[in-house]
Every structure is written in structure tokens, then in C-alpha cells.
Amino acid sequence: MAWLSYYMGDNNNSSRNRKSDQQANAWYDQINDAQPFDAFSSEAQKMRIGNEIYDRIQQDISRKRQRFLLPLKIAAAILVLLINSALVYRYFHRPASHERPVMWMTVTSGANELKKITLPDSSIIHLKSNSRICYTAAFRTGTERSVQLEEGAAFFDVKKDASRPFTVHSKGFLIRVLGTSFNISAYKDQPDFKVDVVSGRIRIEHSGGSGIKVLAEEMTKDQCLTVDLATTDYKIEKKTVSPVVKPKAVVRQLTLQQIGQELGDRFNLFVQLNNPENDTSTYIVDLNNRSLEAILKTLSEQTGFSYTIVNQQHLIIQPKTSDHME
């Protein structure tokens, strides 16, 4: 009878429960157990009582579940708060970043042409004919100064900077230097890869199928490395090495637009040619072995164009107008 008393009465009102128990017990004692008993007067009453019992059971389960889940909810809230606090701290205490995207410059030389390139660290590259080299527009503080000789040959005169090693990548070879001068020859149609040291010291590595191999731990002045590209056999010889030999003057016939492109490549300039339709003539010119000012002065006298240099990076060329054309 305790079961019936629990679900039919109010569990929080003990006096009413005891009275209900006494009435229920008295009623039960007068019932003849041998006779069938129908506890419900109708199907509606049966459904109502059953729903009440079900609702009370669900409420009790829900209360117990909430008591069980409360510590987990508190722990989860604390964990989220700690994570957010850590992220906020890292955001406001991270070192300031002033890095800019890396921009690569490419310089190409033509047949019988020598180009002088001044790098951001003031190192000098003399790019020989039919050659191509790439380098970053700015060497960042604390990083390696890196250039890529993709084709041809070049003479490197590297400014010393112990905190930023200078590296040249070419055809699977890596040349590491601090401050020195040397020649590299890596033309695609030649069977050998060559490096000649003019001054200082360099280290040479080769990356192949078996990994990285050190070909020369240290090469010094007047030492020359020659690598057979077919067999990867190499030798280091001692001989007198001279700096790059400047080519003889090469006279070519170029349009004003071609002249602008040549000057831009050689002196690392952005060239703006205004109104190119005003002058479509070709001129016999020599753009080698002279300073930019000397070349522009000669061309201005020869072609009649005027020019302006902005911030030593931007060359603006204004062709002569038709009114002045002969």
C-alpha cells in the first residue's frame, strides 16, 4: 500500500499522506480478495491516473538528471572561460608584425649583354649574357639573403653581413657565403657547373636523389669547382681567377619602347613611357657600361625625348611631339 500512497498523494505533505494511507487501508480491508476488482470506474479515469503517475515519475527523473548534470555544466563554463582568456591574452601580447609579402624581382640579359644589379643589401651582381636571375625586392632583418640564378652566368660581389648569410641557388647547387666575390657559370647547354672564387670563402652543397652532399666545406681565393652534370663527378683546382670581364660595346637598333624596357631591367626601374605613338622610330644605341644618367643624356640628345626620375625608382619618358619631329 505504500506504493499507492506515494503516487496518489503529495510527497511533501506528510499529514495528508498518513490520512490517505489510513483510508486506503480501511477500504482495502473490506475488499474480498476472492472477487474480481476493478480499481477504475471508467477508462477515462484509468487514463487520467496513469498520466498523473507517469508525469510524477518524469518530474522525479528530470530533477535527478539536473542535479547530476549541474557540476558538468559548471566545469564546461569554467573551461570555456579559461580558453577565451588565454586567446585574448595571446592576441594582445603577440609581437607586432611588420612583415610584408615577399616580392620577387627577375632580371634577364640578352645576347652579348651585361647587366649590373644592385641588391637591397648593396651587394652587386654582374649578370652575363643570356642569363636570368631572381631575388627578393627586400632582404628582411634576421633572414637569409637568397637569390636564384635560373640560367646563365653571373659575378657576385657580396657585402659582408654575419647575421644574414648570402645564398645562391642554381641547378640544384647551393653556395653559402658571408662576404666574398665569385663567378658562377650554369648555362643550360654546357655540360659543367662551375664556381670560381675571386675573394673570401664559400661553401658549396648539392641536392640530389641521395640527399644533400657537401662538395666543398670551404673554398678560398683562386680555387675553382667544376661539376660534371651528367655524372655529378667534380674537382677543385687552383688557378688564377679574375673578376667578371665586361663585354665590348654592343650597338643595337631599338624602338623607344624597347629602350624603356632595357633600362628598366638593367637599373631595376619602373619605366613609364607616355604617348608612345608620338615616336615609333628605331634608334641605333649602346646601353652597356655606362651610368643611367649618361645613357639618358645621350638618348635624350639623340631622340629628343624628355625624362624625369622619381625617387630613383620611377623613370618617366616623354617622347618628342609631332610638332618637333623633322
Return per-residue pLDDT of the chain as tens, 326 residues: 444 444 444 445 556 556 666 766 665 666 555 555 555 566 666 677 667 766 776 676 666 666 656 666 677 777 777 776 776 666 556 555 555 566 778 999 887 678 888 888 888 999 888 899 998 877 765 678 889 999 988 999 998 888 888 999 999 999 998 778 999 998 887 888 999 999 899 999 998 777 888 999 899 999 999 999 888 899 999 988 776 555 555 567 888 888 888 787 777 678 888 888 888 888 887 776 567 888 888 888 888 888 888 887 788 988 887 554 44
Q: Phi-psi region for residue 33, left (φ > 0), alpha (ψ -120 to 50) or beta?
A: alpha
pLDDT at 78: 76
**End-to-end Cα separation, the chain, in angstroms:** 127
Amino acid at 14: S
* Unique residue bearing C-alpha cell 609579402: 101
Q: Domains along the chain?
A: 2-93 (no CATH), 104-238 (2.60.120.1440), 252-324 (3.55.50.30)
In sequence order, the 6+-apart residues with CB closer than 8 A to the CB of 127 are 107, 109, 114, 115, 116, 117, 133, 152, 154
Grid cell listed for 315: 623613370
SS3 (DSSP) at 254:
strand
Distance CA 252, CA 287 (A): 9
One-character DSSP codes across 190-217: SSEEEEEEEES-EEEEEEETTEEEEEEE
Give pLDDT, residue 40.
54
pLDDT for the residue 2:
46
Backbone torsions φ then ψ of 155, nearest 5 degrees:
-110, 130
User: How far, in Å, CA of 314 to CA of 106, rounded?
Assistant: 17
pTM for the full model?
0.47
DSSP state of 215: E
Residue 173: what pLDDT? 93
Query: Look-up: residue for cell 618628342?
Result: 320
State how far the alpha carbon of 138 is from the alpha carbons of 62, 112, 119, 168, 307, in Å. Answer: 67, 29, 8, 16, 27
**pLDDT score at 8:** 46
Q: Does residue 64 sit in helix, strand or coil?
A: helix
Distance CA 309, CA 268 (A): 13
